[in-house]
Structure 1
Amino acid sequence: MTIIILPNKEKQFIRDILVKEGISDHDASDVADVLVSADVRGIKSHGLSRLKKYLDRINQGLIERTPQLTEISHKGNALLLDGHNSLGQITAVQSMTKAIDLAKEYGTSVVATGNSNHFGIAAYYSMMASKAGMIGFVCTNTSPLMAPFGGKKAMLGTNPFTVAIPADKHHDIVLDLATSQVARGKIEVAAREGQKIPYGWAVDPEGRPTTDANEGLKGTVTPLGGPKGYGMSLVIDILSGVLTRSDYLEDIGSLSATNKKQNLGYFMVVIDPSIFVETTVFKKMIDDYIDRIKSSPKAQGVEEIFLPGEIEANMTEKQEHDGIEIAEGLYHAMKTLGEAYHIDFDDYLQK
């Protein structure tokens, strides 16, 4: 049986549960919008499947229900914020909103936010800027899953970063990537299915490259491009952790931990292109840029050249119309979760 939920209904389900958990309606809507955006973009590891994890951490006292984002320091277009251990989506939406407002006033802005939690897909926040006609850069540090290049102990997170650039007639260019060679979840899947993993995905507990998925899970994921991904992850950890007065390296709490707050940070930069070139002209130039990339000669067997974020944008258009397919395991998990809040998940599904 194919189980389908429309994006607006998924958002309503998430919001209804969060409100019953004591989150304000406005904040619950922001969290729901970020999670649904992940699902419609095809990044289901960061969508509805994350909801129970967040609720568990709230009930374990590891995330605050009603925090207030406050300023620690503010000088011109630079702002340092304290998230007060909020749900990451709430803190990050408010942080990017402030970054956009500052960029409208100054042309550029830098907003650093600490004392927060996992915020879902990074691209959501950079795209807030591109939808406002600006260039957005966002990065965050995460709990340690990756050894430094040449090491064997997980010291760094997969520390993602994203850049969104507005276009006119085309989809915005949206780069969104982690600094690890592969997500740990792919190694977990290979281990469950008894498959080997490609050489270079992970190292074993002694820091040796391995094709054994189980040994990879005992060890760590590897940096993207070896020393290049290691260097990128390290810089992001400093920008997101040290500058925001949050934790960094192996001090960051795991999303799966039941006894430790995450205390991680975000670093955001917004640029108003109009300080360099009129915005409509800039967007048309980006369209020209995209056209020239897409019309460039294709390698043998390639039907189309895609820009960063284009595949996800096409997926979004499709799933906003057709709905999001829910895997059977996730369906049963949401049924059980809903029952705990006296909500029937079936009421939200496409009939």
Structure 2
Amino acid sequence: MPHPYEELKSLVEAALQKAGASPVQASTTALALLAAEASGLPSHGLSRVPMYVGHLKAGRVVGDAVPVIKNQRASAVLIDACNGFAFPACRLAIDEAIARAAQTGIAIAAVTNSHHFGMASYHLDAVASAGMVGIACGNSPAAMPAAGGKRPIFGTNPIAAIFPREGKNPVSIDLSLSEVARGKLMVAAKKGESIPLGWALDSDGNPTTDPKQGLEGSMLPMGGVKGAMLALIVELLVTTLTGAHFGAEADTFFEDEGNQPRLGQAFIVIDPTALGGTAVYGERIEALLAAMLVDEGVRLPGQRRFDLMAKAGADGGIDVTAATLDAIRALS
């Protein structure tokens, strides 16, 4: 039975505000978590509310933080999240990037002193609505080793991209750079199940099929060395240019106690009219997608997410597990 959207939003906002978040921090965070839940990604949805509440209470998040512009030029802007939740800062970054790209053709907006930024593709929906192409990336607490190493040094460092289409849902690509999500190890550990080789290393750097040892060790990057290099690119983009913490300097998200993570995010926005033009862009993207769809079984990236969001809207609410809902109610 779907739960009404506004009821869920009110519950999340109440839980966050009770723990010390300002109305703006609570509202923007609730919107992002609900979008992830409606998109079929509960690992980045309402199940995160207890974690966020714990971080507020432990001082890992500044509940009344207001993001500010720290540095800027015509096509570049740095946003300081001031150790608040990521979502208000990311919204400001996206708004600034869209406005600047409309003037100059391309813009980058980066965020520093930030927190968990949830589903990366969520932030780019506004970019596609503006008829622009967007790229997003961010780092996270260390979970993966560098190529050839065994100590966790990079986060799973997600990358997302969005490409608008005329009158249709955009192409939306969103992936983390570990072989599998860390949450899969957590689920396997709870069930007492083993995991396939190639997912994780134990604390000594040896391949393991024991999810508990994997959680104490490190996740393996997708594609081996190539995935590790992509994670390095993200780490460098969102830290060296912003002053944000490396993933290895941020304590795990899965504990209430710890430091303020001070992570980084970056968003690049491109206006097609500044290059080949809207007509060329539209013709080229539709030609490529049509060629892809000739093969039966091809599914365009992001379409499942948009279908699930549309279904949630049609159903008048979002399906949420009883355990998740009970936990939020108790906190609110």
Check whether TM > 0.5.
yes
Q: Deviations over 1:247-274 (max 9, x none)?
A: 1141123223413110101111100111
Using the alignment, how far apart are the partners of 1:266 and 1:318 within structure 2? Answer: 30
Is 1:107 aligned to residue 101 of structure 2?
A: no
Which of 301, 309, 318 is residue 308 of structure 1 equivalent to?
Answer: 301
Once the 2 structures are TM-superposed, how far is the Cα of residue 284 of structure 1 from its aligned partner?
4.9
> 1:167·1:284 contact (CA, 8 Å) conserved in 2?
no
Q: Deviations over 1:133-189 (max 9, x none)?
A: 111111101000111222221111000010011012332001100010011110111
Once the 2 structures are TM-superposed, how far is the Cα of residue 279 of structure 1 from its aligned partner?
2.8
Alpha-carbon distance change, 56 to 212 in structure 1, aligned in 2, over 3 angstroms: closer
Using the alignment, how far apart are the partners of 2:20 and 2:259 within structure 1? Answer: 21
Is 1:337 aligned to residue 297 of structure 2?
A: no
Alpha-carbon distance change, 263 to 26 in structure 1, aligned in 2, over 3 angstroms: closer
Q: Deviations over 1:62-111 (max 9, x none)?
A: 21122232232212211122111111111111111111111111111011
Gap runs ≥5 in structure 2: none
Q: Deviations over 1:216-237 (max 9, x none)?
A: 2222110010001100111101
Q: CA RMSD in A?
A: 1.8
SS across alignment from 2:169: coil
> 2:222·2:228 contact (CA, 8 Å) conserved in 1?
yes
Is 1:319 aligned to residue 312 of structure 2?
A: yes
SS across alignment from 1:112: strand
Alpha-carbon distance change, 16 to 280 in structure 1, aligned in 2, over 3 angstroms: farther
SS across alignment from 1:156: coil
Q: Which amino acid aligns with 1:89?
A: F
Using the alignment, how far apart are the partners of 1:320 and 1:211 within structure 2? Answer: 40
Aligned to 1:278: 277
Aligned to 1:240: 238
> 1:168·1:284 contact (CA, 8 Å) conserved in 2?
no
For 1:28-107, list aligned pairs within 5 A: 28-107=26-105
Alpha-carbon distance change, 297 to 337 in structure 1, aligned in 2, over 3 angstroms: same
Gap runs ≥5 in structure 1: 299-303, 339-351
Once the 2 structures are TM-superposed, how far is the Cα of residue 9 of structure 1 from its aligned partner?
2.8
Once the 2 structures are TM-superposed, how far is the Cα of residue 45 of structure 1 from its aligned partner?
0.8
SS across alignment from 1:240: helix
> 2:153·2:248 contact (CA, 8 Å) conserved in 1?
yes
Using the alignment, how far apart are the partners of 1:74 and 1:313 within structure 2? Answer: 34
SS across alignment from 1:97: helix
Question: TM-score, normalising length from structure 1?
Answer: 0.88
Q: Which amino acid aligns with 1:203?
A: L
For 1:155-234, list aligned pairs within 5 A: 155-234=153-232
Alpha-carbon distance change, 234 to 143 in structure 1, aligned in 2, over 3 angstroms: same
Using the alignment, how far apart are the partners of 1:205 and 1:22 within structure 2? Answer: 36
Aligned to 1:343: none
Question: TM-score, normalising length from structure 2?
Answer: 0.93
Once the 2 structures are TM-superposed, how far is the Cα of residue 280 of structure 1 from its aligned partner?
5.5
Q: Which amino acid aligns with 1:308?
A: P
SS across alignment from 2:183: helix
Once the 2 structures are TM-superposed, how far is the Cα of residue 297 of structure 1 from its aligned partner?
2.5
Aligned to 1:14: 12
> 1:103·1:109 contact (CA, 8 Å) conserved in 2?
yes
Using the alignment, how far apart are the partners of 2:15 and 2:183 within structure 1? Answer: 26
SS across alignment from 1:166: strand
Q: Which amino acid aligns with 2:313?
A: E
Once the 2 structures are TM-superposed, how far is the Cα of residue 317 of structure 1 from its aligned partner?
1.4
Q: Which amino acid aligns with 1:178?
A: S
Aligned to 2:248: 250
Q: Which amino acid aligns with 2:260?
A: K
Once the 2 structures are TM-superposed, how far is the Cα of residue 28 of structure 1 from its aligned partner?
2.9
Alpha-carbon distance change, 109 to 212 in structure 1, aligned in 2, over 3 angstroms: same
Aligned to 2:261: 262
Once the 2 structures are TM-superposed, how far is the Cα of residue 319 of structure 1 from its aligned partner?
2.1
> 1:253·1:263 contact (CA, 8 Å) conserved in 2?
no
Once the 2 structures are TM-superposed, how far is the Cα of residue 281 of structure 1 from its aligned partner?
5.2
Percent identical pairs in the alignment equals 31
Q: Which amino acid aligns with 1:161?
A: I
